Amino acid sequence: MRNLRVWLVLFCVLASATAAYADDVLDCSKKSLADAVRDASNKNPVISFTGICAGPIAIAIDGLTLRGVGTAIIDGGGLDAVTVIGASRVSLIDIDVTNGIIGILARNGADVSLTRVNAHDNSSYGISIQTASSGVLSDVTANSNGRGLGADDGVSVWVRNSTLTGNVTKDIQLTFGARADFQTMVFGTYTCDATVLVRGTSGITCPH
């Protein structure tokens, strides 16, 4: 009898923990991810979500983390899917971003980290880092976009263990004072101008 009581207590604890975990994951079939991001106000908020979530998503709060759970897709609906506007320490993890003009756009001094993100089937860029922003990309894939990765206007970008291939125009486009550090990556076509500084082991030379 004592063992039965112990098992019942353990079962209840596990069930409660599972329910709490489920409650903490936003289900995009029931709630709006865009609204959750807009309403986030606590310090360094973390929003975990699952399902197909409608964009556009605008991020203007420092320290925000968007983390996908299971199937986690942000659909731009023909607009820029995710835009980070001047916010620092923004992280996107385990997410597919698709069907936007730009899949992920960081601009106006934004600082963004992308980990295990797949940007695909966006009409202009999969990922675009602009206007004095910075981006760290790890285990990122960009394919079937107009362009894969764009860096323009005094930005810094670090790319590790990523694959940028099969995009319509160029897989990588670096312009106007961009600084890039590429390590252990696979890419196809690229272009860059004489103002660009590239480090790393990619074999990219500028201008090109």
CATH superfamily, domain 28-200, is Single-stranded right-handed beta-helix, Pectin lyase-like (2.160.20.10)
Count Cβ atoms within 10 A of the Cβ of residue 137 and give its class: 0-12 exposed, 13-18 middle, 19 or more buried.
buried
Specify whether the CB–CB gap between 151 and 131 falls below 8 A.
no
Specify whether the CB–CB gap between 60 and 88 falls below 8 A.
no
Per-residue pLDDT 10s for the chain (208 aa) are 445 443 433 343 333 333 334 459 999 999 999 999 999 988 889 999 999 999 999 999 999 999 999 999 999 999 999 999 999 999 999 999 999 999 999 999 999 999 999 999 999 999 999 999 999 999 999 999 999 999 999 999 999 999 999 999 999 999 999 999 999 999 999 999 999 999 998 889 999 9
- The residues, any chain, with a CB within 8 Å of residue 146's CB and separated by 6 or more, are 122, 123, 124, 125, 167, 168, 169
